[in-house]
Structure 1
């Protein structure tokens, strides 16, 4: 199940519509609403995501060549969006939704120009114990040399840890990047370019994994030992920045998300 929202420029929001369930009643409604009895061509987006991760998508559209899109306010707009949010438990699973290549719900013909993904990871039991990253795919009008049935992109997320607040609670931030052919994480974001002429009835797939090792989110805050990471003292216990600055012998305790007082991460005690 997915939620589909149509959003125009100028803070104009059109009610949620699911094109699969849309029925055009009568010739007058057909003409006035711009509905079509033939659903638009689509491609299927799939994401294999690890446990405690999920992916939602926003498909962005632009006016088709020669089209001028006018909002109810009378102003022209150049972008429209459809939001996809599959409903599933937060376990290891596969996200899937269909992305229309065209959108006529705004009163004009629009074509897909890109797909933006929000990758959400849950690192703790509380609702706020989560972080987000993004990935994006652009749609090119350049002709493609081939028409693959499935296009596969690979990415990996790595948890970055840091301390926060006067009691130095551990919190985590996800960093998600593309993987190269050797399986190494690159500096570039996850995503790529899709060719319009090869998208209809095809599948675009993202295979997402999680790095086994966590790393500090802030450089020169932690020192790595064979048994884990220690938090540098900095100028003292009240120094929230706590840069090491060459002092790799003095360290301070911190708290795990469950409240435990610890001296080394992630094993808590030495």
Structure 2
């Protein structure tokens, strides 16, 4: 009986010890990373690339790429969806590659969005988040836990049939809690994010605009494509001519005279 009590006491001690180790390991992992939540509009997909550099003060270098191994990079992806979606990634703040201690330097987004039925009816742009080593705390520029990126479509015509082609542009915008765009652009303090959640919200501007200036004129019913010198004039600048316009085709093949309503 005495040995059984001793064994039970030892077992309880081991379980408590292992539990403590588990909690400690979990805590360390949480403090060495942050959760990146990305909200996407319908029709969007993203690829994320976290880039790491040697920790300040280190003299080592990031090992060179070998085959499919990309030292200093970690990759994330959220597939295309026709519905709004939320992606969640656990992003390490530090890493070790080839014995070299690394810290997170940037997280770059490759943003793709569909604008038409064809396989190549896709716009692409790049945006990202920069990080830096802690600097003296400044209460006037706290590290935000919410960032916004607004994307807009810029339209143009292309080819002899003048099909509508769209270019995607995404840029940081300040949230209502942030007084200036400088806060939205970062860089963010790494240690301020340890164990926390950073939310990045992508949105689409309500209105589209022409890709090139002086190529379209806006009317109440929509935008009209300037004629230029002829139907074959690929640039077709307006140059003050507000009476002559040419037709174009939507990505789905419709013949139109105004954008985006197609017909007047």
TM-score (ref. length: structure 2): 0.76
Determine whether 1:110 maps to 2:102. Answer: yes
Q: 1:71 aligns with which of 44, 63, 69?
A: 63
Q: 2:46 matched to which residue of 1?
A: 55
Change (3 A) 1:127 1:191: farther
Which residue of structure 2 lines up, in the alignment, with residue 205 of structure 1? 199
Larger mean Cα displacement after TM superposition, 117-126 or 189-198? 189-198
From 78, 95, 113, the counterpart of 2:87:
95
Following TM superposition, by how much is the alpha carbon of 1:269 offset from its aligned partner in structure 2, in angstroms?
Answer: 1.3
> Which residue does the alignment assign to 2:119?
127
Report the CA distance between 1:161 and its aligned residue: 0.7
Question: 2:252: which partner in 1?
Answer: 258
Partner SS state of residue 109, structure 1: strand
**CA shift for structure 1 position 69:** 2.8
Name the CA shift for 1:160/1:189 in 2 (closer, same or farther; >3 Å): farther
Give 1:158's aligned residue. Answer: 152
Q: Is the 8 A contact 1:177 1:189 kept in 2?
A: no
Task: Name the structure with the higher helix share.
Answer: 2
CA–CA distance in structure 2, aligned partners of residues 222 and 187 of structure 1: 30
- Write the deviation string for residues 155-212 of structure 1: whole angstroms up to 9, x where unpaired: 21111111001110001111222223469xx998974221022121111111121111
Matched position secondary structure for 1:136:
strand
Preserved contact between residue 224 and residue 230 of structure 1 (Cα < 8 Å): yes
Higher CA-based Rg: 2
Q: Report the CA distance shift for 1:51/1:87 in structure 2 as closer, same or farther (over 3 A).
A: closer
**Gaps (5+ residues) in structure 2?**
1-27, 66-70
Is the Cα contact below 8 Å between 1:40 and 1:100 reproduced in 2? no
Query: Does the CA-based 8 Å contact 1:136-1:192 persist in structure 2?
Result: no
2:227 alignment counterpart: 233
Q: Deviations over 1:240-269 (max 9, x none)?
A: 000001111100010111111111111111
Within a 5 Å distance, the mapping from 1:238-253 to structure 2 comes to 238-253=232-247
2:37 paired residue among 22, 28, 46: 46
Tell me, yes or no, if the aligned pair for 2:150 and 2:202 is still in contact at 8 Å: yes
Q: TM-score, normalised by structure 1?
A: 0.75
* Counterpart among 179, 187, 191 of residue 193 in structure 1: 187
* 2:130 corresponds to: 138
How many correspondences in the alignment?
A: 226
